Structure 1
Amino acid sequence: MGNIFLKVRVFTFFCIVIFTINKVTAAEQSFIQNYEQGFWSAKETSFFCSLEQTFDSYAKLEIVSVPAEPQKLVFNWLLSDKKITDIQIFSRKADWQSSRVSPPQLNFFSADINNNTVVFDADVSTLLRVIKQGGWLDSVIGFGDEQVRLTFTNTNSNLAIDQYQHCLTELSPLSWQQARDYEIYFETGKRIVEKTADLAFLKDLVRYISLDTKVTKVMIDGHTDNVGSPLANRLLSKERADDIASRLVEFGLPKNMLEVRAHGQRYPVVENSKVGRESNRRVLIRLFRDTTK
């Protein structure tokens, strides 16, 4: 009797396992992008570069680059009837490619979903190589106990990749957050900008201004610590501000965009202690925008 009971339990267990496997298998739906639609397209501006492919009305996969940030892979689920719980994206060779072809391997996974959008911060250089070599991308999107597999095909994408990579070379070196205000600090008694990093920033700033047509004015404010007389400090702050203004003009900034002011020791940001004076010997550069443009 015991053996019969044991056999029944074993049989029931295997039935449950088989049923579960079938249920999981049946829960995944697979769709392959039509070859005619399997193209990547590039978008180019001075402040935004993207390489994207849209899968019908289901999803969009996009490589995005903006100033001062690493490139990102962004997946958008376009239907609002379901919420994503997790997603995996990995490379595969195209169906038409030889079995000897082995595209670069990549595998992105995330369960960090925001409004059915997933942002991957991983290095996307491998992804660009996959696309350039004709590889496809599988995305397995989880919806709790359901899954949808979308295969992004790839047709004649070399031109789009070239456009995207060209956009990267022309992208602004600075974001607005970086460009809108910047301080350069000076050693005691120094009047000239000498640090390589500061000079590089000024060059980048001029390039940024040439790209951002909303910028109408560059304000330069010179400051000093309280070492010396007020009159001498006023003159010193003017010389520092004038040096930065001349550097900007040298790098290509129109003179009529500049406004230079000298404040001497009147507006310290911290107390003029031995340590605090370093923070007060400064020139502040600020950009102003016409937001109506």
Structure 2
Amino acid sequence: MRQRYLALLSVFASLPALAMNFQTRLENVEWKVAGDQFECRLGQPVANFGSAEFVRRAGEQAVFRLNSVSHLLGTGSATLLAAAAPWQPGRGDINLGSVRLGHGETLLTSSQSQASGLINGLLEGRMTLIRSQSGSQPVEIRLLSARFGQAFGEYQACAAKLLPMNYDQIRLSDVGFPRGLELDTAAKARLDKLLAFMKADPSVNHVQLDGHSDNSGNRLVNRDLSRRRALAVQDYLLAHGLSESQITLRFHGESYPLVANSNAANRARNRRVSIELSRVEAPPSAAPAADSPAVLATDKPPAKPL
């Protein structure tokens, strides 16, 4: 009898551990859409686990996030699949690769290509499946495609209203002056995006302008050219709604080239104005803002665009 008992234990020990599954019941599945000019989200609560969502920031494509206050997925990585639904016989799962697990409330964030694959799968009626290993026990989270199509339409309508760029993308930028001192069409388009962002987010309320030149002239001439380029950008911003107290202007001549001034193309790249946006709060005891922007000739280098 003892031998038979030990043999049974050996058989059960060799069987794979049953997966811990999390899935909202079909009749309770709900996709929720929320967002504004800066970000759109399309998510589904997962019963007894947390939530999953597609997040699209302005200027970017969507990523997929899984959120939970628990850490049932364990550590390491999880696999993302656009899995065939039980009512889709003959279809195979689409493995979209692995993603590293985090330690905070957001357990994982996919790449943009992985999120695109999951969205396409849901539109085809597939399930989103997240599979991981917590110790010796597999863990699976499933998102059903029920009611996804209508919610995705609302999500697309939200995405159509996103700003062209997000704060990380627009905070540091360069406006080029490849031909002299005039703002060209590309420069004005860049400044228009900056102005649109500041209008949408009034907390971004300060602009620092750093003028630059190539090394074609002498030091004093180059310093003056860099100042005039910064002034050209400032004048455009003032003409389109910014106040003088929101602008700090600096100029550096040829001191901080982007590239070596070794040929005409490189010199054209170095003729530019670097722009840095920021959120500035005046202290309660601060003096009233000056009537004109700060203008500085400085050797302190400007911040570099991302």
Task: Tell me how far 1:167 sits from its aligned partner.
Answer: 2.5
Distance in 1, Cα, partners of 2:76 & 2:272: 50
Distance in 1, Cα, partners of 2:214 & 2:65: 48
Of 256, 266, 269, which residue of structure 1 is paired with 2:243? 256
Percentage identity across paired residues of the two chains: 21
Matched, 1:173 2:160: no
Task: Tell me how far 1:145 sits from its aligned partner.
Answer: 1.0
Task: Tell me how far 1:115 sits from its aligned partner.
Answer: 1.2
* Counterpart for residue 114 of structure 1: 102
* Counterpart for residue 19 of structure 1: 12
Contact 1:94–1:135 under 8 Å retained in 2: yes
Alignment partner of 1:170: what SS? coil
Matched, 1:61 2:52: yes
Task: Tell me how far 1:214 sits from its aligned partner.
Answer: 0.6
Contact 2:198–2:204 under 8 Å retained in 1: yes
Distance in 1, Cα, partners of 2:59 & 2:149: 26
Q: Which amino acid aligns with 2:156?
A: Q
Contact 1:40–1:154 under 8 Å retained in 2: no
Aligned pairs for 1:222-237 within 5 A:
222-225=211-214, 227-228=216-217, 233=222, 236-237=225-226
Task: Tell me how far 1:280 sits from its aligned partner.
Answer: 5.8
Q: Which amino acid aligns with 1:256?
A: S
Q: Deviations over 1:1-43 (max 9, x none)?
A: xxxxxxxxxx9xx97884344x31x432344421233122122
Matched, 1:216 2:205: yes
Q: Which amino acid aligns with 2:12?
A: F
Alignment partner of 2:205: what SS? strand
Contact 1:33–1:55 under 8 Å retained in 2: yes
> What is the root-mean-square deviation of aligned Cα atoms in Å?
4.0
Task: Tell me how far 1:98 sits from its aligned partner.
Answer: 6.5
* Counterpart for residue 229 of structure 2: 240
Going from structure 1 to structure 2, the CA distance change for 1:91 and 1:230 (only over 3 Å counts) comes to closer
Of 245, 253, 256, which residue of structure 2 is paired with 1:269? 256
Q: How many residues align?
A: 272
Matched, 1:193 2:180: no
Aligned pairs for 1:93-104 within 5 A:
93-95=84-86, 97=87
Distance in 2, Cα, partners of 1:177 & 1:244: 21
TM-score, structure 1 normalization: 0.72
Q: Deviations over 1:129-187 (max 9, x none)?
A: 33234432333331121013333223323332122222322223223233223233434
Going from structure 1 to structure 2, the CA distance change for 1:158 and 1:291 (only over 3 Å counts) comes to farther
Distance in 2, Cα, partners of 1:17 & 1:195: 76
Matched, 1:135 2:126: yes
Going from structure 1 to structure 2, the CA distance change for 1:151 and 1:222 (only over 3 Å counts) comes to closer
Distance in 1, Cα, partners of 2:142 & 2:242: 54
Q: Deviations over 1:191-232 (max 9, x none)?
A: 123474x44432322222222221223333434356556775
Task: Tell me how far 1:105 sits from its aligned partner.
Answer: 5.3
Distance in 1, Cα, partners of 2:247 & 2:19: 63
* Counterpart for residue 37 of structure 1: 28
Give the unaligned 5+ runs of structure 1. Answer: 1-10
* Counterpart for residue 204 of structure 1: 193
Q: Which amino acid aligns with 1:190?
A: G
Distance in 2, Cα, partners of 1:148 & 1:165: 31
Task: Tell me how far 1:56 sits from its aligned partner.
Answer: 1.7
Of 270, 273, 278, which residue of structure 2 is paired with 1:283? 273
Alignment partner of 1:164: what SS? helix
Contact 1:35–1:154 under 8 Å retained in 2: no
Q: Which amino acid aligns with 2:181?
A: R
Contact 1:39–1:154 under 8 Å retained in 2: no
Q: Deviations over 1:77-121 (max 9, x none)?
A: 4424662444233234545x5658x6x953234262221712221
Q: Deviations over 1:238-282 (max 9, x none)?
A: 4423433455567xx3142663746474x7226xx8549947633
